[in-house]
Homo-oligomer: A and B are copies of this chain.
Amino acid sequence: MGRQHIKQLLTGLILLFLYAQSYAQKDSLFIRKIYDEALLRGKAYEDLRSLCKDIGPRLSGSSEAAMSIRWSEQKMRSYGFDKVYLEPIMVPHWERGNPETAWITLPNGSIEKLTLCALGGSISTNGAMEGELVLFNHLDDLKKASRRAVEGKIVFINQVMNAAEIQTFKAYGACYPIRGNGAIEGGRLGAKAVIIRSLGLPSDDFPHTGSMKYEDSIPRIPAAALSTRDSDYLASLLEGKISIKLTFEMDCRNFPDEPSFNVIGELKGSKYPNEIITIGGHLDSWDQGEGAHDDGAGVIHCLEALRILKTLGYKPEHTLRVVFFMNEENGNMGGKSYAKWVKEKNETHIAALESDRGGFTPRGFGCDGNDSVYRKFTALEPLFKPYDLHIWEKGGGGVDIGPLKSEFKDITLFGFIPDSQRYFDFHHADSDVFESVNKRELELGAASISAFLYLLDSKVF
């Protein structure tokens, strides 16, 4: 190689280096603009306030859910997205009815009131229901129990979420079966009803609702969650082997499925308009609290992420779409329908991201992509160093976007990961209200997702 060639090569390398540098700097500067917009001129907090206070909880099939669909459509239009539309779906319709009441009767005849709530989908008690309580400390103990020990009684499963587990979603996952399957296991052995310890970490007086299942071949029995504080108390009584009667009343009802909608807004891609990147959360919530962290924060994160890109005049290469999914909590009809619908429309979906872990300080993202995508994903980490995002892990997605994976085998799913320590203080409980969300933490989440979306669009895909 002659001197001339070496010189050319060196010049080329220097130019490449400078180009790469200016490229990275361009990204850094744009990400800084995104965070500035979120933190200085952000709409996330006031939008969440409106969703929580002007509407409130939004259980599928409720009139508040219908209100929230109109609210979302209007909000997306007001932000000037290129296209805003609804996708019709059918959703279950369950109602809690009158507030639940419950008390125990001790052997000496004295009574004490308890705080419980129906699990979502439970049948009613048909007036007051009374029965002797039988305690199990784990779902497995109930499964192993004899019919004689359970039949005609009210089963109380006091399986405690493991507070020593640092990743609170793991502690939740380990206890989830008592909520999902408690009524099936109790019903199989002839129990009258099942009461579970609330799936919450703190000791307090808020029962946590959530979905539960029945099986066709097994008698359906009422299912409720007792507050953690009352659960500790009741378990301590029952461990003393005294006989305790529970009387409780739940008024819940199932109605026929109702028409509802996913709400969709998008910015059209300038280069690859037919390749779609979806971000979303779920618009529905349980009927307790205001669905502030679960998942008001998630839909507002994604709305704000797209609003920021639009406001900053960003012209996406791919079509960027925000979806407010309906019915994640009790059926996932929004997520399932969306995946089928876009497949039928012959759309090309290359990536999707979900935010459904609350509005807390961002810690990072998860990615379920192949090695090549995962390498590009982890290469983004330095750009987020100034924002303290440090989790760049394998795995990701969410309940709403999960079904896309079956329809598009090459799609990459991403999950937004905020700090999880406070999530199970509020999840599915009356405490999940707007006031439990911190403004800066919410805004930082929206900014992180907006910046990440920008990079997915401009760098990763």
- Chain A interfacial positions (CB closer than 8 Å to B): 35-36, 39-40, 163-164, 166, 168, 201-202, 361, 363, 386-388, 390-391, 419, 421-422, 425, 438-441, 444
Contact = CB atoms under 8 A, between A and B. Distances in A.
27 contacts: A35-B164, A35-B166, A36-B164, A39-B163, A40-B164, A163-B440, A166-B386, A166-B387, A166-B388, A166-B444, A168-B440, A202-B439, A202-B440, A361-B361, A361-B419, A361-B421, A363-B388, A388-B390, A388-B391, A390-B390, A421-B438, A421-B440, A421-B441, A421-B444, A422-B438, A422-B440, A422-B441
A363 B425 CA distance: 20
Contacts of A163: 39-40, 440
Contact of A419 (B35, B164, B419): B419
Contact of A438 (B36, B388, B425): B425
Contacts of A422: 438, 440-441
A35, A164, A441, A444 interface centre (most CB from chain B within 10 Å): A164
Copies per complex of this chain = 2
A39 B444 CA distance: 28
Contacts of A387: 166
A386 to B, nearest CB: 6
Contacts of A425: 438
Contacts of A444: 166, 421
Contacts of A35: 164, 166
Contacts of A361: 361, 419, 421
A439 B168 CA distance: 14
Contacts of A166: 35, 386-388, 444
Nearest to A438: B422
A421 B361 CA distance: 8
A361 B35 CA distance: 22
A435 to B, nearest CB: 11
Contact of A39 (B39, B40, B164): B164
Contacts of A39: 163-164
Given A36-B164, A421-B438, A425-B438, 10 more contacts: A40-B164, A166-B386, A166-B388, A361-B361, A361-B419, A361-B421, A419-B419, A421-B440, A422-B440, A422-B441
A400 B41 CA distance: 37
Contacts of A440: 163, 168, 201-202, 421-422
Contacts of A439: 202
A359 to B, nearest CB: 11
A386 B163 CA distance: 15
A168 B390 CA distance: 18
Contacts of A386: 166
A39 to B, nearest CB: 5
Nearest to A363: B388
A419 B390 CA distance: 13
A80 B444 CA distance: 44
A386 B167 CA distance: 9
A44 to B, nearest CB: 13
A40 B166 CA distance: 12
A423 to B, nearest CB: 10
A425 B45 CA distance: 15
By Cβ-Cβ distance, the 3 closest A-B pairs, closest first, are A390-B390, A39-B164, A421-B440
Among A39, A388, A422, chain B packs the most CB atoms within 10 A around the CB of A388
Contacts of A201: 440
A155 to B, nearest CB: 26
Nearest to A422: B438
A201 B444 CA distance: 14
A363 B419 CA distance: 10
Contacts of A390: 388, 390
A164 B444 CA distance: 10
Nearest to A387: B166
Nearest to A425: B438
Contacts of A363: 388
Contacts of A419: 361, 419
A156 B7 CA distance: 63
